[in-house]
Amino acid sequence: MLLDPNPPATPGVKPEYEKTTYQPEWKIYQAIFNKAVGIDVPASDHSISVETATGDWISVSSYTLTNCRSSHYPPLDIYGQSNGRYSILWAHNADHNWHNVYQHKAIPPITGASTLLHGMQVGTYQVTWWDTTKGVPCGTDTAIATAQGLLLHFPEVASDIAAVILRI
């Protein structure tokens, strides 16, 4: 997107800027736009950069990224406690929130998620998954803890799920 500080070539056309001033010493126009600019970015991994294509500077008061999630914040919130032999945890699909539910938005389930639990004693563990809505177990797995930790593979998480992890 190009924000043009020059007056429109066609008389009567409303420019995008609020005000522009010609600077004769530099032979350029400097404009104040004071507007929000939206750019559709398709879902995927992206690096977004902003650059001044012409001229030598620009002042931007803020950037607001909507409908996106930083890779620093995965879509699965995980909370838990452990004593090294026994762990409990709760995992929540971050998109399953009151606003999205109220708006009847499609909330895709999270599949293929995993995490590494640290501080577990080396050994074999039984993982019991719990349906938190119904309050009943919904599956079991076996996981092995090594010196690096216990690798836990989550089943599909539509809203949230809990796990009880016991050393066998």
Q: What number is the average pLDDT over the span 8-21?
A: 91
Angle at 158 between CA 143 and CA 108, to 5 degrees: 120
Sorted by where each begins, the domain ranges of the chain are 76-167
What pLDDT score does 62 carry?
Answer: 79
Q: How many whole angstroms separate alpha carbon 159 and alpha carbon 147?
A: 31
pLDDT (tens digit per residue) in 137-154: 999 999 999 999 999 999
**55: alpha, beta or left? (left if phi > 0; alpha if psi -120 to 50):** left
Predicted model pTM: 0.59
> One-letter amino acid identity for 67?
N
**What pLDDT band is residue 1 in, cutting at 50, 70 and 90?**
low
Q: Which CATH number does the domain 76-167 belong to among 2.40.50, 2.60.40, 1.20.120, 3.30.43? A: 2.60.40
Q: How many whole angstroms separate alpha carbon 124 and alpha carbon 59?
A: 57
**Choice between 13 and 58, residue whose per-residue pLDDT is larger:** 13
- What token pair was written down for 34? 């004071």
Q: How many whole angstroms separate alpha carbon 4 and alpha carbon 19?
A: 11
